[in-house]
Amino acid sequence: MIGVRLYLAQRLSAMVMVPLVFGHLAIMIYAIRDGLSAAEILSRTQGSIFWGLFYGLFVIAAAIHASIGLRVLAHEYLKIGNTNLNLLTGLIGSGFLILGARAVIAVTL
């Protein structure tokens, strides 16, 4: 159950994520070549403003996109109505945002 504003937020966040997912898929294919280790990941990301912005933007867009997507599922399958739906969307969105921000800080600071 979405109106034009939530629709816009979801499509815009999707468009923002297009280059980010491309990058993410490429990094994944590259990074796992010799196995993963904490040191290897952190040596790439720590102290990098670029990766901080890249993943920061990614987290914000993903939080918006996923919370609206789950809102639609919650309405269509669980029949959750308007007020609770807004509450749920906000809760899921801020949950993703907090967990995601913590992850970005952990790997870039």
Residues of the shown chain interacting with another protein in the complex, contacts defined by CB under 8 A? 1-8, 11, 14-15, 18, 21, 24-25, 28-30, 32-33, 35-39, 41-42, 59, 62, 66, 69-70, 72-73, 75-77, 82, 95-96, 99-100, 102-103, 105-107
Residue closer to another protein (CB basis): 53 or 105: 105
Residue closer to another protein (CB basis): 76 or 84: 76
CA distance 60 to 91: 14
Residue closer to another protein (CB basis): 38 or 49: 38
Neighbours of 17 (CB within 10 A): 19
Smallest gap from Cβ 77 to another protein, in A, equals: 7
CA distance 105 to 100: 9
Contact (CB, 8 A) for 36 and 77:
no
- The secondary structure of residue 79, as a DSSP letter, is -
Smallest gap from Cβ 65 to another protein, in A, equals: 9
Residue closer to another protein (CB basis): 52 or 69: 69
Contact (CB, 8 A) for 83 and 32:
no
Smallest gap from Cβ 108 to another protein, in A, equals: 10
3-class DSSP assignment, residue 92: helix
